[in-house]
Amino acid sequence: MKQQSTQLGTEKIPKLMVRFSVPAFIGMFVMAFYNIADTFYIARGVGTLAVAALSIAFPLQLIITAFAAAIGIGGASIISRRLGAGKLDEANEVFGHVIWLVGLLSVLMVTLALTFLEPILITFGATEDVLPYAEQYLSIILFGSLFQAFAMSANNIVRSEGNAKVAMLTMIVSAGLNIILDPIFIFVLDMGISGAAIATVISQAVGAVWIFYYFKMGKSSLSFRWIGLFPDLKVVKEIVSIGSATFVRQVAGSLMFIAVNWMLVIHGGETAVAIFGIINRIMMFAIMPMFGIVQGMQPIIGYNYGAQLYHRVSDTLKIGILAASGIATFVWVITMIFPAGMMAVFSTDASVVDGGETAMRWIFLVAPIIGFQMVTGGLYQALGKAKISFILSMSRQLIFLIPLVLILPSFFGLVGVWLAFPIADAFAFLLSLFFVWRDRKQLFQKTPAQAKLRRAEVNG
């Protein structure tokens, strides 16, 4: 087993959190910046309808990537705990199953999406004016989903074995190339929204090649292993049960987008859909650093839980909550003070800027509590607590947000759509708090032996 894996159980937690979270933070920041830049270029180069098309297309992209994310995170959780327990052969077996599952499911999903693209987009809320843009974009971008699925799942495996820098570089290479190619294809080659899609596909392919090279050249503790035509169903079940929380969260996000887009079309028209498309990109930019914290802490928690070093799990959780909550509070301050200025970056349409100012203040109203909620979900996933992770992932969007989005506009009109977001966040926070409070003795208290070991670490 390579040193990058064994350090998870030996180095001091603050140092590990910096080592793992900072690369994840940088990588996620670059990816979020790409999403911002992509929206900016399309808004300036194509127009408001094209931005609305991105919002309509996003749910389908979420559904496809949900499979890759679920398998990658589920496999990563198992692999980190296998490595922590010194079971390298079992970790390699899980890795082989991750690649097998991602390859099969991504091909099936892309084939189905391309076959039924137009009726899917109409179901998702595409109007007659928006539909052509959404079709142009997705008919190209879906091919890149094959590369994205592999890179996304493999990147989670890289983090699980302790090599956060490689995971960061994978995202930087792909997103950085996309940022460079976008203006070339959109403005120089005058290809509009199709050009943005082509730039993304090329960038995703390069990212997939990059991560493949990492494993192929033996730089990982893991190696590609052909598992045959038929996988071990026990391994598949374990991967799926843990990754199901991620899958549900992303599919719920897709369903949420569909519900929001329909309500926005009814109560605000295409301009409101475009407003949400822009704010969603800003939300992704704001949330990505917190995802970086979660991704940084998960391999540390998983490895040390597998190694039965529970005091290190506790210390990692505390640092993760503080860091994510600090970022969430900073996001809240910025969005409350500068909402109009942030909207104006993306659009010169006065109705978009004015409407976006109100929407952003409502959507980010309780942003400081989001960090705790995200860390809690990542914690239970890293521990392999599939049921709790599933409940937490399902709660915000599926249980709380979607019903509120469908109900509140009947009483408050367009404002009701925006108001649903902070109320759902508050309910999801309370549910996360309940589980952490219930498990506080396990999560935050140490046995005398663990406390002694902790003092020895600090003194040493």
Judged by average pLDDT, the poorest of 124-138, 304-318, 319-333 is 304-318
At residue 455 the predicted structure's pLDDT band, cuts being 50, 70 and 90, is very low
Question: Phi first, then psi: what are they for 240, rounded to 5°?
Answer: -65, -40
Q: Which residue has the higher pLDDT, 354 or 45?
A: 354
Mean pLDDT of 265-283: 85
Average pLDDT of every residue of the chain: 81
List pLDDT tens digits, range 105-144.
Answer: 888 888 888 889 889 888 877 778 888 888 888 889 888 8
CB atoms within 10 A of CB 406: 16
Residue 214 CA to residue 210 CA, distance in Å, equals 7
Average pLDDT over every residue of 163-183: 82
Model confidence pLDDT, tens digit, residues 260-270: 888 998 888 88
pLDDT digits (tens, 9 = 90+) for 424-446: 999 999 999 998 888 877 666 55
Q: Please compute the mean of the pLDDT values over residues 341-353 and round it to a whole number.
A: 84
Per-residue pLDDT, 458: 42
Q: Nearest CA to 399 among 373, 424, 434?
A: 424
> Would you say residue 176 has pLDDT above 60?
yes
- Stretch among 18-32, 317-331, 397-411 having the lowest mean pLDDT: 18-32
Whether the per-residue pLDDT at 40 is higher than 50: the answer is: yes
- Over pLDDT 70: what percentage of the chain? 89
Could you give the C-alpha distances from 5 to 2, 31, 37, 87, 306, in angstroms and in order?
6, 25, 35, 12, 13
Measure Cα distances from 384 to 71, 245, 405 in Å: 13, 11, 32
Q: What is the DSSP string of 332-400?
A: HHHHHH-HHHHHHHH---HHHHHHHHHHHHHHTTTGGGHHHHHHHHHHHHHTT-HHHHHHHHHIIIIII
* Position 351 confidence tier, pLDDT thresholds 50, 70, 90: confident
> Residue 368: which pLDDT band, with cuts at 50, 70 and 90?
very high
pLDDT (tens digit per residue) in 47-79: 778 888 887 887 888 788 888 888 888 888 787
Do 221 and 4 form a contact (C-beta atoms < 8 A)? yes
Label residue 422 by pLDDT band (50, 70, 90).
very high
How far apart (Å, rounded) are the C-alpha atoms in residues 61 and 392? Answer: 22
What integer is the mean pLDDT of 241-256? 76
pTM for the structure as a whole: 0.67
* Distance separating alpha carbons of residues 67 and 236, to the nearest angstrom: 13
Residue 189 gets which letter from DSSP?
S
